[in-house]
Amino acid sequence: MPNVVGGMAPDRNRRRIPDATVSRLPVYLRILSEQGDEGVDSISSERLAELAGVNAAKVRKDLSYLGSYGTRGVGYEVAYLVYQIRRELGLTHDWPVVIVGAGNLGQALAGYGGFSERGFPVGGIVDIDESKVGTVLGGVRVRHIDELPQIVQTKRVNIGVIATPGAAAQDAADRLVRAGVTSILNFAPTVLSVPRGIEVRKVDLAVELQILSYHEQRKAGATVHAVPGGGPRSATA
Ligand X SMILES: NC(=O)c1ccc[n+]([C@@H]2O[C@H](COP(=O)([O-])OP(=O)(O)OC[C@H]3O[C@@H](n4cnc5c(N)ncnc54)[C@H](O)[C@@H]3O)[C@@H](O)[C@H]2O)c1
Segment interacting with DNA (CB under 7 A) among 60-68, 110-118, 154-162, 177-185: 60-68
One residue of 27, 51, 75, 138 binding DNA per CB under 7 A: 75
- Ranges of beta strands (E only) in 37-158 are 42-43, 70-71, 75-77, 97-100, 122-127, 136-137, 140-144
One residue of 13, 68, 223, 234 binding DNA per CB under 7 A: 68
Alpha-carbon span 75 to 77, nearest angstrom: 7
69 is in the binding site of which of ligand X, its own copies, DNA, none (Cβ under 5 to 8 A by kind)? DNA
Closest approach of DNA to the CB of residue 142, in Å: 38
One residue of 108, 136, 207, 209 binding ligand X per CB under 6 A: 108
Site for ligand X in 181-210 (CB under 6 A): 187-189, 205
First to last CA, the chain: 46
Compute the Cα dihedral for 81, 87, 88, 91 and give only its sign: positive
Q: What pairing do the DSSP bridges indicate for beta strands 75-77 and 42-43?
A: antiparallel
- Which residues are bridge partners to 200 per DSSP? 184
128: Cβ–Cβ under 8 A, 6 or more apart, which residues? 144, 145, 164, 168
Nearer to ligand X, 205 or 220 (CB): 205
One residue of 35, 45, 107, 170 binding DNA per CB under 7 A: 45
- Residues forming the site for DNA (CB under 7 A): 5-6, 18-21, 44-46, 54-58, 60-61, 63-64, 68-76
